A and B are shown apart, each in its own frame.
Chain A
Amino acid sequence: MSLPRHTRYDPVAITLHWLVAIVIVCNFALGVYMHELPLSPWKLKIYSWHKWAGVSAFLLVALRLAWRRFHTPPPMPESMPAWQRQLAQHGHHLLYLLMFAVPISGWLMSSALGVQTVYFGALPIPDLLDKDKELGEVLKQVHEALNLGMAAIVLGHAGAALKHHYLDRDDVLTRMLPWSKTPRNPQ
């Protein structure tokens, strides 16, 4: 077989990974910050921004998955034990699932609480649910729980990336970085 085995993520996949990572990490922080704020115009503004960012994250993740469909990620290094590969794969799949579930739960929660999501104040996103306060409170818990779950997995994910880089000294981190063109351990 003389198919060139790519060892790096392609530039689009890299761009989308980091764009989504920035939006999600910032929006997570925004969500934690805003929900303790006393009611004020600032709070209403932040809530809107948080929703817009969430919709943006959702769209970027959709784009990312569509791209991935036709651009297979590079295989994991042979040096990795099988269980680690499986764990990484399951972790990535779970992250994709959560990257959809988190914004969707936020959108449903907003609808149930009676505050529609209007993307950038211009594009109304239809309410799938009618206003229902109790359901809204339940969805709030769901949104929080999904976020905490995602935060835990992201920490594990970033930790694993650092472990690969500094302990295993393989190219798992560098092949997702926009710079560093040459693989560390050309095989």
Chain B
Amino acid sequence: MKRSLLACLLAVTLPAAAGEYSGFAADQSRVSFVSTQMNVPVEGRFQRFGGEIHFDPATPTTGSARLEVELQSIDTGLEEADEEVASAEWFDIAKHPKAVFESSAVEALGDQTYRIRGTLTIKGTTREIATEARFEPGAIGAFSGSFKLMRSDYAIGEGMWSDTSVVADDIEIRYRIAAPAQ
């Protein structure tokens, strides 16, 4: 008890020295996105997602992350759009309820910044992505960053919605993924 208390204190006061982080802290995490409609950036987010990360700042290359986003929990910011994007033309949520990210490599870039590579699977399509994230140590550590994806790569928004002059092809994904220090 005493020792774990001490460890906690150390983790708070000496965050950079904290050891391994693992698990997932949902309430400290956030997955949002910015789509562009008629040149207007509109922010939305996902309310339910889960995952598992393992990360030790001392040996970053052994780090790993897996993240699952429940697409049904989307909040596009526009009520009628929340229903629309469940349809087969968008996410086809009935068949593909989740988007999954699985890391394959972590590379330290210095200054608490890391390049994380991995695969992103949405609507049955799996693609390689890379993103740069900043790590914020603490009792709960968190990676924050963003990356862009092309919605056409995953067939998100087919048919009349494939017109990228209205809803732009590139979507910016912003995330904060947190896990408790062990």
CB of A116 within 8 A of CB of B41, answer: yes
Given contact pairs A39-B80, A39-B81, A40-B160, A115 touches B40 in the complex (Cβ within 8 A) = yes
Given contact pairs A115-B78, A131-B77, A44 touches B84 in the complex (Cβ within 8 A) = no
Could you say which of B38, B77, B84 contacts A48, with CB atoms under 8 Å apart?
Answer: B38
A126 at the A/B interface (Cβ < 8 Å)?
no
CB of A115 within 8 A of CB of B80, answer: no
Could you say which of B39, B77, B84 contacts A39, with CB atoms under 8 Å apart?
Answer: B84
A81 at the A/B interface (Cβ < 8 Å)?
no
- Count of interface residues, chain B, beta-carbon cutoff 8 Å: 17
- Count of interface residues, chain A, beta-carbon cutoff 8 Å: 16
CA distance A122 to B84 in the complex (A): 27
CA distance A115 to B161 in the complex (A): 19
CB of B160 within 8 A of CB of A114, answer: no
CA distance A40 to B80 in the complex (A): 10
The secondary structure that dominates the B interface is mixed
A121 at the A/B interface (Cβ < 8 Å)?
yes
Using Cβ atoms and an 8 Å threshold, which residues of chain A touch B20? none
User: Distance (Å) between the CB of B164 and the closest chain A CB?
Assistant: 10
Number of inter-chain CB pairs below 8 Å: 41
Using Cβ atoms and an 8 Å threshold, which residues of chain B touch A121? 38-40
B17 at the A/B interface (Cβ < 8 Å)?
no
Could you say which of B38, B43, B81, B163 contacts A118, with CB atoms under 8 Å apart?
Answer: B38
User: Distance (Å) between the CB of B91 and the closest chain A CB?
Assistant: 15
CB of B161 within 8 A of CB of A41, answer: yes
User: Distance (Å) between the CB of B74 and the closest chain A CB?
Assistant: 14
User: Distance (Å) between the CB of B47 and the closest chain A CB?
Assistant: 14
Using Cβ atoms and an 8 Å threshold, which residues of chain A touch B163? 41
The 0/1 profile, CB within 8 Å of A marked 1, for residues 83-114 of chain B is 01000000000000000000000000000000
Using Cβ atoms and an 8 Å threshold, which residues of chain A touch B80? 39
A69 at the A/B interface (Cβ < 8 Å)?
no
CA distance A45 to B167 in the complex (A): 10
Could you say which of A44, A114, A117 contacts B166, with CB atoms under 8 Å apart?
Answer: A44
B16 at the A/B interface (Cβ < 8 Å)?
no
B37 at the A/B interface (Cβ < 8 Å)?
yes
B14 at the A/B interface (Cβ < 8 Å)?
no
Which residues from 123 to 169 on chain B have a C-beta closer than 8 Å to any C-beta of chain A? 160-161, 163, 166-167
Using Cβ atoms and an 8 Å threshold, which residues of chain B touch A131? 43, 77
Could you say which of A41, A116, A118, A122 contacts B167, with CB atoms under 8 Å apart?
Answer: A41
CB of B40 within 8 A of CB of A41, answer: no
Using Cβ atoms and an 8 Å threshold, which residues of chain B touch A117? 40
B42 at the A/B interface (Cβ < 8 Å)?
yes
Using Cβ atoms and an 8 Å threshold, which residues of chain A touch B84? 39
CB of B39 within 8 A of CB of A118, answer: yes
User: Distance (Å) between the CB of B155 and the closest chain A CB?
Assistant: 16
Interface residues in chain A, defined as those with a beta carbon under 8 Å from any beta carbon in chain B: 39-41, 44-45, 47-48, 113-118, 121-122, 131
Interface residues in chain B, defined as those with a beta carbon under 8 Å from any beta carbon in chain A: 37-43, 77-78, 80-81, 84, 160-161, 163, 166-167
